[in-house]
Amino acid sequence: MTNIVQSNLEPSTAVLDQVCAAGEPWSHLIEKGQVLRILDLEGNQAVDTLFYNADDPQERYSAVDTIRRQGALYLGAGTQLISSEGNVMLTIVADTCGRHDTLGGACATESNMVRYGLEKRFMHACRDNFCSEITRREEYGIAKRDIAPNINFFMNVPVTADGKLTFEDGISAPGKYVEMRAEMDVICLISNCPQLNNPCNAYNPTPIRLLIWAEQAT
């Protein structure tokens, strides 16, 4: 059952308010207690996201531990995002979309070629975005080998009765958002997915809005 939880935070009080262009990467330090909102400006935009412990990037978001801890494949309000060390990294405190993917992973030039044809090999992809952003931000101490299975916020990847994954039209819409409170200092790494070959972005990548609020009372 979809669990819709609205936020009472006002954009005018945010300490950071930025737009990430369609198909581009973004990263930022989210301090413990701060709240990050990812807002889908135009609807049906997949947002590939990773989190790292800012003090020790070897500790990172773990899809396996998050799924196991909550006993569910999809993320929503109340979900705790669990690290590779079993610690709570962030808690989803508001969500107006209702479901977010943990299984689809990030598109790559190699997977684009295999799935969609040889001529797609050189198309821009999320893994390229992650790599370019961590190269640009060397102070994070994150290397290519540290890119783990990611969250796909707003992305719709149903599991079929025979256990297969399918990429379907998104269930988001303009203005939908997900909001997370950091339970430790984390580095947030985003690829605003450039995928044109499946319906995760409605075949039309669009911008997202990113807001951060100062430490919030729990």
pLDDT tens digits for range 136-170: 999 999 999 999 999 999 988 777 778 777 766 77
C-alpha span between 118 and 109 (Å, rounded): 10
pLDDT at 121: 65
Question: What is this structure's pTM?
Answer: 0.93
The pLDDT of residue 116: 63
Note down pLDDT in tens along the chain; length 218 residues: 468 999 999 999 999 999 999 999 999 999 999 999 999 999 999 999 999 999 999 999 999 999 999 998 899 999 999 999 999 999 999 999 999 999 888 887 776 676 667 666 666 889 999 999 999 999 999 999 999 999 999 988 777 778 777 766 778 999 999 999 999 999 999 999 998 877 778 889 999 999 999 987 66
Q: Residue 148 and residue 58: Cα distance in Å, rounded?
A: 11
The Cα 101–Cα 122 span in angstroms is: 25
Unique residue bearing structure tokens 């893994």: 127
Phi/psi at 36 (5° precision): -105, 130
Complete DSSP assignment for 25-82: EEEEEE-TT-EEEEEESSSS--EEEEEEETT-TTSBB-HHHHHHHHT-SSB-TTPEEE
pLDDT per residue over 131-141, tens digit each? Answer: 999 999 999 99
> Whole-angstrom Cα distance, residue 202 to residue 152?
15
Can you give the pLDDT at residue 106?
86
Give the whole-angstrom CA distance, residue 47 versus residue 44. 10
